[in-house]
Amino acid sequence: MARLEPMPVEGPVALFSCLPYWFKVVTARLKRGGVIRSFRREMLVEQRKLDEILRDLGKRAREVELQHPPVDAAMRGLHELEAQRAQLETDSSGINAQVEQQEATFQAVSDDAGQRAQVAQEQAAAAQATLNERNAELRGLKGQLAQLDKELTKLAATLRTKTAQGAKTQDATQQQTLEQECVGITGQIEEMEQQRGSLDAQSRQLEEPIAELTGQLADARTRNQEAQQELNAARQELATVKRNLGVESQKKGQEMTRIDREMAQKFLEIGRLLDTDRVQLPELEELFGRIDEARMGLQVREESVAALESEREAYDRAAAKKGMILAISIAGTALLVIIGLIILFTVVLN
C-alpha cells in the first residue's frame, strides 16, 4: 500500500483558507476510501480461503471418523447426505446401464434390418434388370407381330383383288396369270402365318417369367420396406427411451448437485465447530495452523480498515464546512457570470 499523507486534522481560522483545507480533506478521505475498498476486497478473498481451509478441516474430520460431541449432530447429517448421494449414484448408474442396453438392442436390430434391407435391395435390383430385359424382348416380339399383321392385311387385300380380277376376265391367258399370282400370294400368307404363330408362341413363353419376375420384384420391395420400417421404429423407440431416461438422469444430476452443495456446507459447519472447540488430533494440527495464519491476516486487514475509517473522520468539520460553502458560492457566482455574459453577447449580436 502506498504511504498516505496525514489527515489535515486542524482547520484554519481565516475564511478563505478554509477552501484549500476542504480540498485537502476531500482528497485525503477519497484516498483512504480507495484503500479501505482494496482492503475489503482482500478480506473477501482471505475469507474465502479461510472457509476453504475450514471445509478441508471438516473433510479431514470425516475421513478420520472423528467422534466429538460438538460435531456429532453435523456428522450424522453428513452421513445422511452421503447415503442419499450414494443412492443417486446407484440410480444414475442404472439409468446409464438402461441406455447402454437400449443402444445395444437398437444396434442388433439395426444390423439385422440393415442386412435384410440390403439383400432385398440387391434382389430387387437383379429382378428389375432381368424384368427390363424380358420386357424389351416382349416389346420386340410384339413389334414384329404388328409388322407381320400389317403385311398379312396387305397380302389378303391383294389376294382378294386378284381373285376378283380373275373371275371377271374372259382372257384365258390373263386368267391363268392371275391364278398363278394368287397361288404365290397364298403361299406367302401361309409362310407369314407360320412366322406369326412362332412369334406369338415366343411371346406367350415370356409372359410367365415376366409375371414371376414382377412378383419377385414386388416381394423384394415389400421386404425392403418392412426392414426400413422396422429400423425406423427401433430408432424412434431408442430416441424416446433416451429422451425419457435423459430427463430422469438430469433430475438425478440436479439432485446430486444440490446434495453436493449441502455436503460442502456441512463440511464448513463441521470445520467451524472444530475451530471453535478444538480437539487435539495429529491429523488436524496442520489445518489448525493454516486457519490461524489465515485468521491473523484477516485480523490485520480488519485493524487497518478500522484505523483508516477512524482517520477519515479526524478533521475539522467546521472549517471543512466553511470551505465547502465557499466553493459552492464561488462556483455559483462563476455560473451566474457565465450566464450573464451569454445573455449579453446574445443581445449585442442581435
How high is the mean pLDDT of the chain? 89
**How far is Cα 285 from Cα 149, in angstroms, rounded to an integer?**
117
Nearest to 135 by CA among 191, 207, 77, 63: 207
Instruction: Encode pLDDT of 144-194 as tens digits.
Output: 889 988 988 998 898 888 888 877 877 778 878 878 888 888 888 888 889
Measuring CA to CA, how many Å separate 156 from each of 150, 152, 153, 178, 229?
Answer: 10, 6, 5, 15, 60
**pTM recorded for the entire structure:** 0.61
pLDDT for 2 beyond 70? no
Q: Which residue, among 72, 23, 43, has the nearest Cα to 277 in the 3D structure? A: 72
Per-residue model confidence (pLDDT) at position 185? 86
Residue 143: count other Cβ atoms within 10 Å of its Cβ: 11
Give the separation between CA 28 and CA 313, rounded to whole angstroms: 11
| Cβ(8)–Cβ(311) below 8 Å | no
Q: Does the structure show a pLDDT above 70 at 196? A: yes
Instruction: Tell me how far apart the alpha carbons of residues 302 and 296 are, in angstroms, rounded to a whole number.
Output: 10
For the segment 21-42, the average pLDDT, to the nearest whole number, is 88
**142: nearest Cα among 194, 94, 202:** 202
* pLDDT single digits (tens) 258-300: 999 999 999 999 999 999 999 889 999 999 999 999 999 899 9
C-alpha cell of residue 156: 389378303
* pLDDT tens profile 67-88: 989 999 999 999 999 999 999 9
Nearest to 294 by CA among 48, 36, 57: 48
Contacts 24+ apart (CB under 8 A), 310-318: 311/7, 311/32, 312/7, 312/28, 312/29, 312/32, 312/33, 312/36, 314/7, 314/9, 315/7, 315/8, 315/9, 315/11, 315/25, 315/28, 315/29, 316/8, 316/9, 316/10, 316/11, 316/21, 318/11
